Chains A and B, each alone.
Chain A
């Protein structure tokens, strides 16, 4: 090894700065932590740290009755509770070969799609704050979320942990004025989406920040196991509602929005468009829904005892593919219970997307992934 050239000794020594973004930081959407190595304003390395929110959400249901386990799915992805409950119920139904009544299927579709809108609203609001809005998109989005949550509250009695879907149907019937209420929600939210569109989509500063930021190619996206809006923003037209229509999704007419660049702006556009498409599905479902009828499969025992076997059910949650894997040995509890979380998988290429960008962009890229830490850490 040659000795360093003498003139080097006269240069100022520079060292990289480690910046700890999280677990207590306004932009980490929970208790995520990333250790950024920055050189001035450029990110040279990013070390994501997860696990602060680990509560054993996969293990706990193994000690629960099949119906008790639903509550734990509310608590994994706490922004898409209906979708997660739905996935678990689908898995149990598959295991037991249950036939879900028509009306219950429609109820599930309506609530699941509205939940998708509510989740995307949450994302738009938080993302707006990440990009640097002084809370304006946040307030706009939360106004709409509030309207949707009022509907959920009227149906389930809860604002957060609904626990409303059950294997074989739903827990109880809808309130009498549900249809009216739901149409009001759709109108309100549609206007709200237009408001957000007017505020953000063509906002010059927003464009300058988001366009062309961290583009992901379709090949990369597939290799990294991205799903949901993250995948579709890259131009891959893959949506489980269309690719393998679970429940009754083959009866509805809706578009699957895809992006072209896979950049942050495309992720935003895809989610905005998905909200509109979800409202379309809800409208169709409202028209087609049978006015009355059973909401629970007949002849279910008080304690569910699925036959031995294993099953994997997956649905398109707002963040992507949410899957539940259950192994049953015939008892009243799942022998093994595993969750495939969408935002955990979407978060995994964070380092590849962040390195080489500015610190400010790292925040935006993290925001654009739409992580829910309870689901990442489970």
Chain B
């Protein structure tokens, strides 16, 4: 606790969050452009500030000073409140997210549950934005986002629940307290014992963030930005901020739950000077993965997306939970847990492969690559 006054302590911690969010959004925005630029063989922002570092700041100023346009036929309050409904849950979820053992606003015994429950609420905001805009692209995008986010929320929660079931605590197993979940991973992170849950969590997180290949609700070439099509200036910036806050939230959550957070592999006693870089590094890995996926993958179709959630991810998530339950009931060692989950991961890989590469009714295809290379002129 900072000082003696719990109110002051809470306020100061909230202040840290309040400062950290915009900074993180600006930094991530810059990094995403740079990373994707790198993949796409270009430089990314280079003009504003050295190596374009001030580009995101300049964009922020532009967005803040832009006119707040509201379509004439928009449903006024729905339209104007939607950005808040999207951004507030994401920020509220951050409140219980521990970065190290004592770097958090308030740690809850139900922390994992609270984060997942609260961050789900932003779906409402997206639907409000789509409805309030009175725009056909927006409503189509809102419907898509409702379908997608709800379908992927379930595997996401299930994967987190699977880990919470088997998390080691001082008095046995099973907890929703994130600090305890991390402390339980002293020797081996849960990704080893729960690889299937990790896979499901990562894919579902990608869908929750509506990034490629799951950017269906905001698909630029189809629904032109989806629910956000009519927004400009500050309100649009809030949607973008929510997107990046969610990115950070899910990345930190994944590294806490699956990669051992601040604990693994250095142990619990190294102090924040090493713990903070460790958690930042793990989070950065996830964020980089999300950036990379955005740069190299096209978009799935809505029916393929739903089929993947309901036919592959959800049954596998249930399998993971049942396997964990069996391990808990019969008190099998962790190795069994790892093997069962690993088998599930293999099954997931196979199912994914089969869904994508269904035996198509093919005869000889176009001689695409091979034929041309063997011919020399």
Contact = CB atoms under 8 A, between A and B. Distances in A.
Nearest to A257: B366
Nearest to A207: B356
A273 B368 contact: yes
Interface in A179-223: 194, 197, 199, 201, 203-209, 211-212
Nearest to B356: A204
B216 A266 contact: no
A360 B41 contact: no
Contacts of B39: 136
Contacts of B213: 132, 205
A282 to B, nearest CB: 9
A17 interface: yes
A269 interface: yes
A209 B224 contact: no
Nearest to B215: A132
5 contacts: A134-B294, A199-B296, A205-B298, A258-B366, A273-B366
A260 B212 CA distance: 30
Given A260-B365, A276-B372, A140 B40 contact: yes
Interface stretch (A123-131, A167-175, A331-339): A123-131
Given A19-B136, A139-B41, A204-B357, A280 B300 contact: no
B365 A358 contact: no
Contacts of B223: 359
Interface string B281-324: 00000000000001111111111100000000000000000000
A128 B140 CA distance: 22
Q: Which 9 A-B pairs rank lowest in CB-CB distance, beginning with the nearest?
A: A132-B299, A276-B372, A269-B366, A139-B40, A132-B298, A27-B221, A131-B298, A204-B356, A283-B377
Contacts of B297: 132-133, 203, 205
Contacts of A25: 224
Nearest to B299: A132
Nearest to A193: B372
B47 interface: no
B364 interface: yes
Interface residues of A, number: 58
Given A258-B366, A280-B377, A363 B221 contact: yes
B366 A209 contact: no
B362 interface: yes
Contacts of A140: 40-41
A363 B298 CA distance: 13
A148 to B, nearest CB: 16
B360 to A, nearest CB: 6
B375 interface: yes
B372 A277 contact: yes
A26 interface: yes
A136 B299 contact: no
A287 B377 CA distance: 10
Contact of A358 (B220, B303, B355, B364): B303
Given A26-B220, A134-B36, A361 B368 contact: no
Contact of B295 (A131, A136, A277): A136
A135 interface: yes
A209 B301 contact: yes
Contact of A136 (B221, B224, B296, B368): B296
A88 to B, nearest CB: 30
Given A272-B368, A273-B372, A205 B40 contact: no
A318 interface: no
B362 A134 contact: no
Interface in A236-285: 253, 255, 257-261, 266, 269-270, 272-273, 276-277, 280, 283-284
Nearest to A20: B136
B367 interface: yes
A41 interface: yes
Contacts of A18: 136
Given A205-B300, A266-B365, A359-B222, 13 more contacts: A18-B136, A26-B220, A133-B297, A140-B40, A201-B369, A255-B367, A260-B362, A269-B365, A272-B368, A273-B371, A280-B375, A360-B219, A361-B301
A257 B367 contact: yes
Contacts of B140: 17, 19, 38, 41, 359
B72 interface: no
Contacts of B224: 25-26
Interface string B329-368: 0000000000000000000000011011100111111111
A259 B36 CA distance: 33
A143 interface: yes
A287 B362 CA distance: 38
A25 to B, nearest CB: 7
Contacts of A130: 221
Contacts of A27: 221-222
B131 interface: no
Contacts of A207: 356-357
A197 B369 contact: yes
A273 B223 CA distance: 32
